[in-house]
């Protein structure tokens, strides 16, 4: 029996009452309620009923009406013939059907056709209604797409799922492999809405559905009428509606291009950077990226053929990280130094902002007095111009200090990330895959220079810890643990010998790699806030002019190295190029020779002095390095002097 408008219990009671009235015995009940009448033959209850008829378990089937048994004419005729062959009858409660008579069988066939017509008519009306609802943007039933949720019948972003769907796009853009993206998602604990692992089929559907970029696609599929199979409708029939986007149009289109290219060529993307150090390893003499040769298991310079084995490089790299990791005293001191510097910057910014507000109020008041006639123009200019000049300088200082603070905060974050990466490398390096090793190298290493005699490993945030990046960008450090050695006002509280011991923690080879050594004393707050009164406005070069000189110098260097790949600035020149670009006259050669001997400078320091001299000349707009440029560059080697730090 199959339910109509009443509950299955009511229909069962009606059938039992009819059987009792006829004097029949009820031996079994078949439950088809809640199932589609379009095709009932595959249902397990239908098959059980037909088998019971064959084995003589039942002699008749009582149901409400034909349309509630099935709405398929062919199936109804098959069922009727099956009952007839096995001497069983079909009996409807609401219709005069009794297949025990010829007229009853004729009426049964007629009503079967009507049932199918009714089903097809309802289906047609539902399709028309579905298209109309799609054009209106209304729900067509079912749950919201992944990344969205229904809120008052409107699709809104799901705060838990939307970030995961966006993450899928970013991962696929990076790796270009569906299986890799699924593996990463599953390993990181992400699951589908049903709690299953992500599959490539699910990922493809989520990546290609336009709803991710804010275009909800509706009325684009239709059922084939055989189970769950369906097909796509022509694109001109699709309906789109705007919803909140999860990813940008650019990211969505970029992912579609990758998928379409892979589908068209049926080629998997090549595995790139499978070796941990590829792209970070440079030949010191040629400045060429070294490549890994699988046949000889060595990294090789394609120009001079300098080689280093994979095992040797890994041992040196791990040794460098271990040394950095064990220098807890220096690291803790640098972290504390950065925190102190951040605190001082915050205090200074607060003071400058307060002074800026006071000046702003003062300037507005002066304008009001001048407009009202209470302050003559001559007096107005006398009071307004100095205050306005001070206001502009404080505004410029604030911009610089805020930038300095942002840079410091970023360096502190990078330092923390790098230290975490170093911990993972030292603890799990041998157990990592090549992809994992490369990811950790990327998080901790800036560049590795391989020379004929030594190897230089430059960590990303050495610039944040008074250790230099490959371009020699400097970062301030203190001369002693307390930070007040040589301070003009505050007294150093370090024990005798502690200063030199502290400075000796920075090794000679590291000193060689620092381009600029400048000892800076703090500027008094009143001088910083009131520069007009101290005559600084006339003697200090405006930052706009400095910026213009720097841009001109960088453009000059870009043009100079236009034919050299991976070289954009003087600091990136290899040793053989330094001799060509940084040529000295006899006077400069004599000065440099004297400095090298008296300061006991190394060959690496020699190259760095020449690079800095070339940069100073570029900033001055000079074609050749003069003795003034060279002398200034030598002056910036204060950490190399034996007297530095000795008082």
| pLDDT at 537 (0 to 100) | 47
Which of 100, 133, 166 lies at the terminal end of a domain, its last residue?
133
Both 345 and 425 in one domain: the answer is yes
Both 316 and 437 in one domain: the answer is yes
Both 179 and 286 in one domain: the answer is no
Give just the sign of the alpha carbon dihedral 372, 375, 376, 377.
negative
Ramachandran area for residue 225 (φ above 0: left; ψ -120 to 50: alpha; else beta):
left
| Alpha helices by DSSP H, 223-327 | 249-265, 310-326
Nearest alpha-carbon partner for 2 in 24, 34, 27: 34
- Within-domain flag for 493: no
Cα–Cα dist 314/137, whole Å: 59
Contact 471, 572 (CB under 8 A): yes
Cα–Cα dist 554/559, whole Å: 9
Q: What is the mean pLDDT of each run of 10 residues along the chain (647 residues)?
A: 57 82 85 71 84 86 72 71 79 67 65 61 60 58 81 85 92 89 90 90 90 75 58 68 86 90 69 70 85 80 87 84 66 70 84 88 86 81 83 81 78 75 84 81 82 78 38 46 65 60 61 74 65 51 82 89 81 83 88 82 82 92 89 78 44
Contact 481, 502 (CB under 8 A): yes
DSSP state of 569: S
Mind giving me the DSSP string for 44-91? HHHHHHHHHHHTTS-SEEEES-HHHH-S-HHHHHHHHHHHHHTT-EEE
- Within-domain flag for 447: yes
To the nearest 10°, report the CA torsion of 423, 427, 431, 434.
30
The SS3 assignment for 534 reads helix
Nearest alpha-carbon partner for 283 in 255, 309, 308: 308
* Pairing, β 230-232 against β 148-151: unpaired
Both 337 and 257 in one domain: the answer is no
| pLDDT at 273 (0 to 100) | 47
Which of 133, 167, 192 lies at the terminal end of a domain, its last residue?
133
* Pairing, β 89-92 against β 60-63: parallel
- Within-domain flag for 634: yes
- Within-domain flag for 489: no
Nearest alpha-carbon partner for 175 in 276, 292, 255: 255
| pLDDT at 39 (0 to 100) | 73
What percent helix, strand, coil does the chain show, rounded to 5?
A: 55, 10, 35
Mind giving me the DSSP string for 351-414? HHHHHHHHHHHHHHHHHHHHHHTSS-HHHHHHHHHHHHHHHHHHHHHHHHHHHHHHHHHHHHHH
Which residue in this structure is represented by tokens 């439950």?
A: 31
Both 312 and 243 in one domain: the answer is no
Both 283 and 371 in one domain: the answer is yes
Cα–Cα dist 570/292, whole Å: 28
| pLDDT at 163 (0 to 100) | 92
Both 251 and 281 in one domain: the answer is no
| pLDDT at 280 (0 to 100) | 84
| pLDDT at 379 (0 to 100) | 79
| pLDDT at 294 (0 to 100) | 73
| Domain range enclosing 181 | 148-265
Both 188 and 235 in one domain: the answer is yes
Both 70 and 186 in one domain: the answer is no
Helix axis angle, 328-372 to 377-428, nearest 10°: 160
Residue 599 in tokens: 């300061």
Which of 78, 110, 133 lies at the terminal end of a domain, its last residue?
133
The pLDDT tens digits for 90-146 are 777 776 665 556 666 666 666 666 665 665 665 666 565 555 555 555 665 567 889
The pLDDT tens digits for 204-256 are 989 988 888 888 776 556 665 555 566 666 766 666 777 889 999 889 999 99
Both 220 and 299 in one domain: the answer is no
Provide the whole-model pTM: 0.34
CA–CA distances in Å: residue 167 to residues 163, 170, 173, 206: 6, 5, 10, 11
- Find the helix or strand (DSSP H, E) in which 135 lies: helix 102-136
* Pairing, β 215-218 against β 239-242: antiparallel
- Within-domain flag for 511: no
Cα–Cα dist 437/425, whole Å: 8
- Within-domain flag for 508: no
Cα–Cα dist 156/147, whole Å: 9
| pLDDT at 468 (0 to 100) | 32
- Within-domain flag for 515: no
- End-to-end CA separation in angstroms for the chain: 104
CATH code, domain with 197: 3.90.1750.20
Number of H helices, E strands in the chain: 22, 14
- Taken as a whole, the chain contains a residue count of 647
- Within-domain flag for 383: yes
Both 20 and 47 in one domain: the answer is yes
Both 340 and 395 in one domain: the answer is yes
Total domain count, the chain: 4
């Amino acid at each position: 029996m199959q339910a109509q408008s009443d509950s299955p219990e009511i229909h069962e009671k009606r059938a039992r009452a009819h059987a009792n009235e006829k004097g029949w015995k009820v031996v079994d009940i078949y439950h088809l309620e809640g199932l589609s009448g379009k095709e009932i033959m595959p249902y397990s209850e239908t098959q059980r009923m037909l088998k019971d008829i064959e084995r003589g378990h039942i002699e008749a089937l009582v149901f409400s009406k034909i349309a509630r048994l099935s709405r398929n004419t062919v199936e109804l005729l098959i069922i009727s013939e099956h009952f007839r062959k096995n001497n069983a009858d079909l009996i409807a409660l609401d219709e005069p059907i009794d297949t025990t008579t010829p007229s009853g069988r004729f009426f049964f066939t007629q009503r079967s056709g009507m049932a199918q017509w009714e089903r097809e008519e309802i289906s047609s009306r539902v399709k028309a209604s579905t298209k109309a609802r799609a054009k209106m943007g209304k729900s067509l039933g079912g749950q919201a797409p992944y990344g969205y949720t229904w809120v008052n019948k409107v699709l809104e972003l799901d705060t838990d799922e939307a970030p995961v769907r966006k993450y899928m796009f970013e991962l696929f853009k990076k790796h270009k492999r569906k299986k890799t993206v699924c593996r990463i998602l599953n390993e990181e604990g992400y699951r589908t809405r049903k709690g299953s692992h992500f599959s490539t089929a699910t990922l493809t559907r989520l990546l290609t559905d336009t709803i991710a970029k804010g275009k909800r696609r509706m009325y684009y599929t239709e059922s084939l009428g055989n189970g769950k199979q369906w097909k796509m409708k022509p694109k001109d029939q699709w309906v789109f509606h705007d919803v909140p986007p999860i990813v940008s149009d650019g990211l969505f289109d970029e992912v579609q291009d990758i998928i379409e290219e892979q589908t068209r060529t049926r080629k998997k993307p090549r595995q790139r950077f499978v070796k941990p150090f590829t792209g970070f390893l440079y030949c010191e003499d040629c400045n060429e990226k070294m490549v890994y040769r699988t046949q000889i298991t060595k990294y090789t310079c394609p120009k001079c053929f300098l080689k280093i084995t994979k095992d040797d490089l890994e041992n040196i790299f791990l040794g460098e990280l271990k040394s950095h990791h064990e220098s807890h005293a220096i690291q803790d001191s640098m972290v504390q130094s950065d925190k102190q510097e951040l605190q001082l910057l915050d205090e200074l910014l607060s003071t400058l902002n307060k002074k800026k507000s006071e000046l702003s109020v003062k300037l507005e008041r002066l304008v009001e007095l001048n407009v009202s006639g209470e302050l003559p123009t001559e007096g107005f200019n006398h009071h307004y111009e100095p205050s306005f000049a001070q206001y502009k300088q404080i505004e410029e200082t604030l911009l610089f200090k805020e930038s300095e603070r942002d840079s410091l905060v970023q360096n502190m974050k990078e330092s923390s990330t790098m230290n975490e990466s170093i911990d993972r490398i030292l603890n799990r390096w041998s157990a990592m895959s090549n992809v994992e090793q490369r990811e950790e190298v990327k998080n901790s290493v800036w560049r590795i220079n391989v020379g004929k005699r030594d190897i230089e490993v430059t960590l990303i945030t050495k610039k944040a810890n008074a250790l230099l990046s490959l371009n020699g960008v400097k970062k301030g450090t203190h001369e002693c643990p307390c930070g007040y050695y040589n301070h003009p006002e505050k007294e150093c509280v370090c024990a005798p010998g502690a200063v030199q011991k502290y400075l000796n923690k920075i090794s000679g080879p590291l000193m060689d790699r620092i381009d600029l050594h400048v000892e800076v004393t703090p500027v008094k707050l009143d001088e910083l806030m009131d520069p007009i009164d101290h005559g600084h406005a006339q003697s200090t070069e405006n930052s706009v002019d400095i910026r213009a000189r720097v841009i001109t110098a960088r453009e000059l260097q870009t043009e100079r190295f236009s034919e050299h790949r991976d070289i954009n600035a003087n600091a990136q020149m290899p040793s053989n190029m330094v001799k060509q670009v940084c040529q000295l006259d006899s006077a400069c050669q004599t000065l440099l020779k004297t400095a090298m001997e008296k300061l006991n400078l190394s060959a690496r320091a020699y190259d760095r002095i020449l690079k800095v001299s070339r940069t100073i000349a570029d900033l001055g707009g000079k074609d050749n390095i003069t003795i003034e440029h060279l002398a200034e560059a030598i002056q910036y080697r204060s950490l190399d002097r034996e007297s530095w730090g000795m008082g």
